[in-house]
Amino acid sequence: MIDRMSETISVGELCQRAAGTTAPGTEALVGLLGRSPRDERIGLDRAPAAVLARRLRSSRAPSSGSLTALLAVLDDLGDDDVRFGRYDTETEVAIMLIDAGGAVTAASVEPVVEPDSVSAAELAGLLRRSDDAAAASSAVARALAVLDERPDESLRVGRQGAIATSRTFRTKYSIAREKGVTVVGLEDFVDRLAERGETEIALCSADTGPAVVVAALRPDRSAAIAVLFVTDLRHDGDARV
């Protein structure tokens, strides 16, 4: 059953529910879940259908009909809220929609996309060229000092919703501060992301061990939005991105 408190469902339960429907993509989903540990739990989240569709389109190019069909379902739902889950393996990623009654209404199973990346030198260049958002942050000088020491390092770029990231970082790094971690630029960072609402951002980080630089970029990586500098991590290992 779906755990209403934590909004999770086990792989085994989800597999059973998907097997009982002919909704788009469920056959591939059942195949994937059938090869996975039955007791593993999958987190569920909620978002407007149109927002989820935009995220999927910006982060993945459909390689199978199942994602195209899932996007068509989301497009039909417009701004209605949907409950969805994501399940990742080493080679595949599954997205599924689950209605109020717990039925799987659509799903997609796609191969894992090789992660996008940016070099430390490229990120430093974006920070130096940003004449408003990132340049105004007190964390920029510290971030540049870290990035300039490792110009050829490849930094993985992920994509996620701006306002959700803002909320997560505000909570996570406020707690880290209470534990003695030095967090520079937090208020500027979370405020700038919150201003962007449900739009998607690109997020990357450079981890030196003693310090972490986190940068939020426009989805096309044409400019930096905000930057965060975190150090004294010996006080709280959970403060890493």
pLDDT in tens, 178-224: 989 999 999 999 999 999 987 888 999 999 888 999 999 988 888 89
pLDDT, mean of residues 227-239: 69
Residue 114: pLDDT above 70? Answer: no
Domain of residue 121 covers 116-239
Residue 23: what are its φ and ψ, rounded to 5°?
A: -60, 155
**Residue owning tokens 């700038």:** 192
Q: How far apart are CA 27 and CA 22, in angstroms?
A: 8
Residues 86 and 180 in one domain: no
Token code pair at residue 221: 């990586």
Residues 35 and 145 in one domain: no
Confidence band for 102, pLDDT divided at 50, 70 and 90: confident
Residue 241: its pLDDT value, please? 53
Residues 57 and 168 in one domain: no
- Of the listed ranges 1-15, 19-33, 46-60, the least confidently predicted one is 1-15
pLDDT digits (tens, 9 = 90+) for 52-89: 988 887 666 666 678 889 999 999 999 999 999 999 88
Query: Is residue 157 included in any domain, yes or no?
Result: yes
Residue 234: its pLDDT value, please? 58
- Among residues 77, 93, 111, the one where a domain terminates is 111
Q: How far apart are CA 53 and CA 35, in angstroms?
A: 27
Residues 218 and 146 in one domain: yes
Query: Is residue 1 included in any domain, yes or no?
Result: no
pLDDT digits (tens, 9 = 90+) for 86-100: 998 888 889 999 998
Residues 133 and 222 in one domain: yes
- Of the listed ranges 21-30, 54-63, 169-178, the least confidently predicted one is 54-63
Nearest-5° angle of CA 122, CA 210, CA 145? 35
Residue 3: pLDDT above 70? Answer: no
Query: Is residue 2 included in any domain, yes or no?
Result: no
Residues 59 and 158 in one domain: no
Question: What pairing do the DSSP bridges indicate for beta strands 41-48 and 81-88?
Answer: antiparallel
Residues 149 and 82 in one domain: no
Token code pair at residue 107: 């799903």
Residues 91 and 165 in one domain: no
Pair 103, 89: CB distance under 8 Å: no
Query: Is residue 220 included in any domain, yes or no?
Result: yes
Pair 161, 196: CB distance under 8 Å: no
- Among residues 111, 138, 161, the one where a domain terminates is 111
Q: Which helix (H) or strand (E) holds 76?
A: helix 65-77
> Is pLDDT larger for residue 220 or for residue 105?
105
Instruction: Using alpha carbons, select from 168, 158, 176, 172 the residue that is nearest to residue 217.
Output: 158
Residues 17 and 98 in one domain: yes
Residues 20 and 34 in one domain: yes
Q: How far apart are CA 124 and CA 68, in angstroms?
A: 37
Query: How many contiguous H segments (helices) and E segments (strands) does the chain have?
Result: 8, 11
Among 22-36, 134-148, 198-212, the range of highest mean pLDDT: 22-36
- Among residues 111, 141, 166, the one where a domain terminates is 111
Residue 174: pLDDT above 60? Answer: yes
Residue 200: its pLDDT value, please? 84
Query: Is residue 127 included in any domain, yes or no?
Result: yes
Indicate the number of domains in the chain: 2
Residues 124 and 186 in one domain: yes
Q: From residue 26, how far is each of 18, 31, 49, 169, 172 by CA, in Å?
A: 6, 9, 19, 34, 36
Q: How far apart are CA 182 and CA 170, in angstroms?
A: 14
